A and B are shown apart, each in its own frame.
Chain A
């Protein structure tokens, strides 16, 4: 495979890792909140989180484009405040794939938190532990495998994101081209050989990520 294509692979890996790391704290916190008993607005938040899973990715991309563009609410604020442009840059790629993979992280982590026996948290309270200590010493360790599996799934989703990314970041060679965008472009240009090489790398990476995620989840259920 040519250097140019390896750069596409490295870029895709880099933005996928970065976006996964960025969504991790918020995703885990939200999953924990959603696993708690009823609170006001919970159904609305649940629906909003699930939206990127059910609406077309290009529609999500269009929403992001309108929000993050130079004349968008967020885009103009960020440009004025930090002097940073978002759309059609690598930052847009990170945001697009982060938004698209966020629901997978939240849903898998939520199931993991729901699987933690609440009796253990209650007993920790009677032993004098505060809520923060309980979260870090009881809840989080017991949900960790599910969270790791969710993180890997989110990363795998990020690797293959196409629709939202092309809307908000375009497909600029050497700047915003990911594996998925490049495969599409190579096919359009009838460069099937290059497309298939990237396809092979993409399948291998996705297979590895999903397999590890399944392995972690299986190990978790065998422990319980």
Chain B
């Protein structure tokens, strides 16, 4: 997948998000300290924030180009978004959450309900209420919900951050399985070098809304000085 975030200017609270970067990889990581603009970058790709200027392109498809006043609404971008807390609809059952976005699905077998539910090991949760399931289960349901909408790109915002070490390890295995089964490109936001080196093949590093480094994660973490590491 080729993802271009060019000429980006999005005013945030203390500083703007200013990016001009082209990325290539199946799982691209956005790394950086808290408040560096990682989630805002995801929101921008999903079409949930209005930038002052932006050119966003995925594999040749232009999602936004403010120079010509073009911006696809979030509904038409085909982006699956899994926010940090999962953002499941609390008044709906797990099953109703899963089917919420599957309206635009066209019955492809890879993205069938049975297959997605099977890969994410949530079949036993379908009839449960969202309030009855654990944090890790919520993340799996949120990921399944996003996958069932057959996205061209998945945005994962620190999906394992709230889990303990044991569950984190299982979560990483699951994410690797999702990557292998569905071949959906991902943008993965995380604080964790371990997670990023395990599943990502390209990484950008943000600090105060600016790009400070880019390249292969293992290379960046081992041979180059990644300034945000010192903040951890």
Contact = CB atoms under 8 A, between A and B. Distances in A.
Contact of A127 (B43, B48, B100): B100
Contacts of B85: 119
B91 A130 contact: no
A163 to B, nearest CB: 40
Interface of B is mostly: mixed
A223 to B, nearest CB: 8
Interface in A107-130: 117, 119-120, 122-130
B75 interface: yes
Contacts, number: 57
Contacts of B80: 126
A127 B131 CA distance: 21
Given A122-B48, A123-B81, A128 B75 contact: yes
Given A119-B83, A119-B87, A126 B103 contact: no
B81 A126 contact: yes
A56 interface: no
Contact of A125 (B73, B83, B103): B73
B145 interface: yes
A78 interface: no
A123 B90 CA distance: 13
Interface string B25-63: 000000000000000000100111000000000000000
B149 A128 contact: yes
A223 B90 CA distance: 9
B27 to A, nearest CB: 19
Interface residues on B, range: 20 to 34
Contact of B48 (A126, A141, A223): A126
Q: Which of A128, A137, A138, A223 counts the most B-chain CB atoms under 10 A from its CB? A: A128
B75 A122 contact: no
B221 interface: no
Given A125-B75, A126-B80, A128-B104, A141 B149 contact: no
B140 interface: no
Contact of A129 (B83, B100, B145): B100
A128 B90 contact: no
A124 B90 CA distance: 13
22 contacts: A117-B87, A119-B83, A119-B85, A119-B87, A120-B89, A122-B48, A122-B81, A122-B87, A123-B87, A124-B89, A125-B47, A125-B75, A126-B79, A126-B80, A126-B81, A126-B149, A128-B103, A129-B101, A130-B75, A137-B100, A142-B91, A223-B90
Interface of B: 43, 46-48, 73-75, 77, 79-81, 83, 85, 87, 89-91, 100-101, 103-104, 131, 145-146, 149
Interface of A: 117, 119-120, 122-130, 137-138, 141-142, 223
